[in-house]
Amino acid sequence: MPFDDTRFRTVQVGEICVLSFTRVTGFNLGAIGRLSRDEYYKGKFSPALFELQPGATVEYLQYRAEGTCFIRVAGNVVEAEPCPTNNKSKIRLETEPKTEWWIHIVLLDGSKGWVLVTESTVKVVKRQY
């Protein structure tokens, strides 16, 4: 099924518990509730450094590629590089976030629309570029 656009949507945030002092680095995307593809790739975000104290909780929004993730710290969405969940000695993952993957399909007859990718709607196979 060919598709020309894709969206990932967090429908339920996860939770990360800080076990010992840790620093989170990456990019501060600000106090946002939505991020478009265009905004993301413009890359106009400032570097981030957040110091997390033991006992703090952090919202886990989405896993990203190559060991990064989106989290929310002090009201700001951060693209964390690396994702703090990678450091099991300092962080405990309490709950995984729940996300949806939507694709915009375009069929040969010109029909198009958005489809939610689930086990019952779309079979994911090898992608062709």
pLDDT per position as a tens digit, 21-34: 999 999 999 999 88
- For the record, the structure tokens of 55 come out as 């006992």
Q: Is residue 129 part of a domain?
A: no
What are residue 63's DSSP bridge partners?
A: 69
**What is the three-class DSSP state of 125?**
coil
Q: Please count the structural domains in the chain.
A: 1
Q: Is residue 3 part of a domain?
A: no
What are residue 61's DSSP bridge partners?
A: none
What is the pLDDT, as a whole number, of residue 128? Answer: 64
User: pTM (2 decimals)?
Assistant: 0.85
Q: Is residue 69 part of a domain?
A: yes
- For the record, the structure tokens of 35 come out as 């991020």
Range of the domain at 35: 13-96
Mode of pairing for the β-strands spanning 91-95 and 3-12: unpaired
Residue-level pLDDT, tens digit, the chain, 129 residues: 778 888 999 999 999 999 999 999 999 999 998 888 888 888 789 999 999 999 999 999 999 988 999 999 999 999 999 999 999 999 999 999 999 999 999 888 888 999 999 988 888 777 666
